[in-house]
């Protein structure tokens, strides 16, 4: 596939993030790192319509008005995210920027509900070039009473731990949130209280 390039500067946004080409949605991982505000977004660079596999686009700004487009932060294709790098969040720890995101996998069928998801991590020390964590996924499967709808991790630090909340769906078809806890962002366990 080739990227579709937007050539007309006349209609480019002046004070908002805009990808150099393609389709975007879901801003993710807004954070401040090494003197810049960073924003990521779901990105399909090959068409102006939504498509698969999903990437993470990336821009940064010193003033939240003028934005610099950076290289794609997350590109799918590994076994953990072969069909897409879906929404997530960012957090800074020990002078490193971490991206926590949902890996998407389509099974070989025509059923759009025939997929599975997991939660993964990538990191960067310069805020531009990201390396996927070698022990991904950090959460491989949802709880047993969940469907495959298990996505959009949001991570924060509180006291001596990191917490991650995920949107999900019970096998009864009800929406729910799941809370996980980690001491180091790498070993993540289902939160059971306290």
Is residue 26 among the annotated active site residues? yes
Q: Can you tell me whether residue 11 is helix, strand or coil?
A: helix
Q: Running DSSP on this structure, what letter comes out for residue 128?
A: S
Closest CA to 166 of 184, 187, 141, 186: 141
**Cα–Cα dist 162/141, whole Å:** 19
The counts of H helices and E strands in the chain are 0, 12
* HSE-up of residue 55 (Cα within 13 Å, Cβ side): 19
Active-site residue identified among 26, 78, 94, 111: 26
**Cα–Cα dist 171/146, whole Å:** 5
Q: What share of the chain is helix, strand, coil (3-state, %, to 5)?
A: 0, 50, 45
Q: Which sequence positions are flagged as catalytic?
A: 26
């Amino acid at each position: 596939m080739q990227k579709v390039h937007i050539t007309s500067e006349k209609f480019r946004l002046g004070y908002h993030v805009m990808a150099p080409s393609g389709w975007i949605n879901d801003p993710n991982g807004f954070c401040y790192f090494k003197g810049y505000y960073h924003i990521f977004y779901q990105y399909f660079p090959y068409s102006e319509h939504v498509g698969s596999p999903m990437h993470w686009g990336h821009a940064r700004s010193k003033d939240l008005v003028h934005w610099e487009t950076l290289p794609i932060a997350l590109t799918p294709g590994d076994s953990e995210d072969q069909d897409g790098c879906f929404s997530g969040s960012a957090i800074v720890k020990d002078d490193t920027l971490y991206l926590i995101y949902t890996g998407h996998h389509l099974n070989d069928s025509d059923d759009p509900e025939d997929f599975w998801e997991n939660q993964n991590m990538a990191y960067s020390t310069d805020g531009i070039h990201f390396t996927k964590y070698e022990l991904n996924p950090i959460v491989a499967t949802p709880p047993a009473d969940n469907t495959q709808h298990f996505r959009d991790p949001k991570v924060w630090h509180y006291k001596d731990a990191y917490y991650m909340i995920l949107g999900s769906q019970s096998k009864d078809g009800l929406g729910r949130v799941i809370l996980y806890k980690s001491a180091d962002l790498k070993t993540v366990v289902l939160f059971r209280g306290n």
